[in-house]
């Protein structure tokens, strides 16, 4: 079945870049997603990339997709303390009816 | 902005109780979902619904049922709560199939079963 893997923790200093990595199994997913969960809140869509793209940039966020290796990454430039959160990578299930989420990467930003 | 509202932020129930978790969305979305979130396990799909009175099992439906009598409301039911159902429950909705549409999440219900 589908599976999405990501590392559980990342710790960076304020102003540094953060890179969160994800691997997925289902290459039929049309889009791949990054969701952000702040403490005490539900998830919010942060960004997404169409599977035919290699890269997408959105202000401080850069998403890289290596379809051959089924590897997705999220780079946050100039990381701020407000970026501290859990970041989830997600892909569609094979039926295209629901999203499969990774376990989430907890990003901790120290000043 | 789309709003997905979960009726309770925290719930404490006893083993064996019947528990209802309610979720309401205000944007006329077709699809609604229930996930549970556990530390180290991420989000796991329990059930989803793509239309009124329709439901589909997700990855971990055992011990749960759902009800969707109206488009805007999707209820998760624990027929006989057990301690291993202590978790954060997240409701979400999307306009069409979730594969290519973004999900909108509620703030979650932290359920403790004692």
Q: pLDDT (tens digit, 9 = 90+) per residue, A29-86?
A: 788 999 999 988 889 999 999 988 999 999 999 999 999 999 999 999 999 999 999 9
Instruction: Give yes or no for residue A23 having a pLDDT over 70.
Output: yes
Cβ–Cβ gap B98/A98 under 8 Å: yes
The one-digit pLDDT tens for each residue of chain B (114 residues) are 668 999 899 999 999 999 999 999 998 999 999 999 998 888 999 999 999 989 999 999 999 999 999 999 999 999 999 999 999 999 999 887 655 668 899 999 999 999
Cβ–Cβ gap B42/A104 under 8 Å: yes
- Shortest alpha-carbon distance between residue B25 and chain A (Å): 14
Q: Which of B36, B40, B43 is nearest to B63 (CA)?
A: B36
**Which residues of A fall within a CB distance of 8 Å from B92?**
42-43
CA distances from A8 to A29, A72, A108, B40, B63 (A): 23, 15, 11, 8, 28
Which residue does chain A place closest to B89, by CA atoms? A42
**What is the DSSP code string of A29-40?**
-SEEEEEEE-TT
Phi, psi (degrees; rounded to nearest 5) at A34: -120, 125
User: What does DSSP say about strands A105-110 and B10-13: parallel, antiparallel, or unpaired?
Assistant: unpaired
Q: Which of A29, A39, A43, A100 to mutate to test the interface with B (most CBs of B within 10 A)?
A: A43
Cβ–Cβ gap A45/B58 under 8 Å: no
**Which residues of B fall within a CB distance of 8 Å from A35?**
103
CA distances from B22 to A23, B6, B51 (A): 33, 6, 17
The torsion defined by the Cα of A50, A90, B57 and B1, in degrees rounded to 10, comes to -80
Structure token digits, residue B95:
């306009």
What is the predicted pLDDT for the residue at B6?
96
Q: Is A34 on the interface with B (CB under 8 A)?
A: no
Distance of CA A69 to the CA centre of its chain: 16
What is the predicted pLDDT for the residue at B100?
60
What is the predicted pLDDT for the residue at A1?
62
Cβ–Cβ gap A92/B106 under 8 Å: no
Q: Is A40 on the interface with B (CB under 8 A)?
A: yes
Burial group, residue B83, by CB count within 10 angstroms (0-12, 13-18, 19+):
exposed
CB atoms within 10 A of CB A111: 7
CA distances from B107 to A103, B66, B86, B88 (A): 18, 19, 17, 10
Cβ–Cβ gap B103/A99 under 8 Å: yes
Structure token digits, residue B69:
């009598």
What is the predicted pLDDT for the residue at B79?
94
Instruction: Give yes or no for residue A91 having a pLDDT over 70.
Output: yes
Q: Report d(CA A1, CA B44) in Å as an integer.
A: 13
**Which residues of B fall within a CB distance of 8 Å from A50?**
none
CA distances from A92 to A19, A46, A60 (A): 22, 16, 25
**Which residues of B fall within a CB distance of 8 Å from A45?**
102-103
């Amino acid at each position: 079945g589908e599976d999405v893997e990501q590392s559980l923790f990342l710790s960076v200093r304020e102003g540094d870049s953060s890179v969160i990595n994800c691997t997925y199994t289902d290459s039929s997913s049309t889009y791949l997603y990054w969701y952000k969960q702040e403490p005490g809140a539900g998830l919010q869509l942060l960004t997404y990339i169409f599977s035919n793209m290699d890269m997408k940039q959105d202000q401080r966020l850069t998403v890289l997709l290596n379809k051959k290796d089924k590897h997705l990454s999220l780079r946050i430039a100039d990381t701020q303390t407000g970026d501290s959160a859990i970041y989830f990578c997600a892909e569609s299930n094979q039926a295209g009816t629901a999203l499969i989420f990774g376990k989430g990467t907890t990003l901790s930003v120290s000043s | 902005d789309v709003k997905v509202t979960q009726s309770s932020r925290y719930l404490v129930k006893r083993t064996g109780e019947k528990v209802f978790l309610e979720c309401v969305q205000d944007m006329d979305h077709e699809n609604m979902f229930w996930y549970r979130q556990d530390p180290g396990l991420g989000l796991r799909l329990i059930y989803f619904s793509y239309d009124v009175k329709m439901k589909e099992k997700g990855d971990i439906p055992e011990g749960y049922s759902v009800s969707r009598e109206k488009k805007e409301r999707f209820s998760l039911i624990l027929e006989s709560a057990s301690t291993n159902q202590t978790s954060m429950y997240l409701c979400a909705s999307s306009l069409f199939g979730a594969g290519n549409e973004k999900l909108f999440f509620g703030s979650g219900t932290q359920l403790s079963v004692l």
